[in-house]
Amino acid sequence: MKPAPWRPPPEYAEAIEALSAVPRLDREQVVRLVHAEAELAPVVDAFAARYAQTFSRADDADLRLWLLRRLEIAGDRRAERYWHLLAVINKWPFLPSLFGPSALRRPC
């Protein structure tokens, strides 16, 4: 008696469908990303080193993952909307958006 053929669980189909929605990069885009990463590495290293010093942590992979999570949260437009609504309710001054063209026009 032959064993039943293997059938992938439903999660496999969902994962394959999700992957099919991921945009494909062409060779030129990949090359640009690799060069950009190489150019930005010293900036990222300095940024991580400063955070490590400020928070008395080692500059390691755990710190960089922690930083990434913090930056993802900070970049969430829902959080910005929350603070905007809180400012309206409390009659606080509200800072311009961190996103979009207006953020690029602010003087440094």
**Domain ranges, ordered by start, for the chain:** 27-74, 76-108
- Within the chain, strands assigned E span none
- pTM summary value: 0.48
pLDDT attached to residue 101: 53
Residue 10 pLDDT class (50, 70, 90 cuts): confident
Supply 34's token pair: 């690799």
Residue 8 reports pLDDT greater than 80: no
Per-residue pLDDT tens for 33-55? 888 888 888 988 999 999 999 99
Measured between alpha carbons, how far is 81 from 98 in angstroms, rounded to an integer?
11
pLDDT attached to residue 74: 75
Give the C-alpha distances (Å, rounded to integers) separating 28 from 22, 31, 35: 17, 5, 11
SS3 89: helix
Largest Cα–Cα distance in the chain?
A: 76
How many C-beta atoms surround the C-beta of residue 97 within 10 A? Answer: 14
More confident site: 24 or 105? 24
Residue 18 reports pLDDT greater than 80: no
Report the pLDDT averaged over residues 5-9: 74
pLDDT attached to residue 108: 46
Give the rounded percent of residues in the chain with a pLDDT score beyond 70: 85
Q: Round to the nearest angstrom and report the end-to-end CA distance of the chain.
A: 75
